[in-house]
Amino acid sequence: GGIITQTPKFLIGQEGQKLTLKCQQNFNHDTMYWYRQDSGKGLRLIYYSITENDLQKGDLSEGYDASREKKSSFSLTVTSAQKNEMAVFLCASSIRTANTGQLYFGEGSKLTVL
């Protein structure tokens, strides 16, 4: 089995600050994702990457940048944190070629902006 590791688990930032979340997977999966989870709103796709150095915008990409420099890692940057923002960011991965839609998730990174 594999695992997805997200760092940090908790991130506290200031309004306007640039904040970066990191994700590592050892499944050797091709595709990686960043989702944002807000209470009562479910999961919304921010960015995904089909392979190394590929980036695809999701439904919520504005205000975020992403980077996939290695197959095993996928980073997400909040370009300017919004005051009172609070959300959980979930990283996931999947086998591209299987086309099964099955994703494997990390435990999440909780962001709080003061």
Partner 1 sequence: AQSVTQPDARVTVSEGASLQLRCKYSSSVTPYLFWYVQYPRQGLQLLLKYYSGDPVVQGVNGFEAEFSKSNSSFHLRKASVHWSDSAVYFCAVSKQGTGSKLSFGKGAKLTVSP
How far apart are CB 93 and partner 1 at their closest, in Å?
A: 9
The CB-of-23 to partner 1 minimum distance in angstroms stands at 11
Q: Is residue 99 near partner 1 by the rule CB under 8 A? A: yes
Question: Among residue numbers 67 through 96, which ones bind partner 1 (CB under 8 A)?
Answer: 90, 92, 94-96
Burial of 93 from C-beta contacts in 10 A (0-12 / 13-18 / 19+): buried
Q: Which of 51, 53, 107, 112 binds partner 1 (CB under 8 A)?
A: 107
**From candidates 40, 62, 83, 84, binder to partner 1 by CB under 8 A:** 40
- Is residue 46 part of the contact set for partner 1 (CB under 8 A)? no
1 binds partner 1 (CB under 8 A): no
What is the spatial distance between Cα 74 and Cα 92, in angstroms, rounded to a whole number?
10
The three-state DSSP-derived secondary structure of 68-106 is: EEECCEEEEEECCCCCCCEEEEEEEEECCCCCCCCCEEC
**Residue burial 15-34, b: 16+ Cβ < 10 Å; e: rest:** eeeebebbbbbeeebbbbbb
Count of residues that interact with partner 1, criterion CB under 8 A:
25
Report the interface residues with partner 1, using CB under 8 A: 4, 31, 35, 40-45, 48, 50, 90, 92, 94-96, 99-103, 105-108
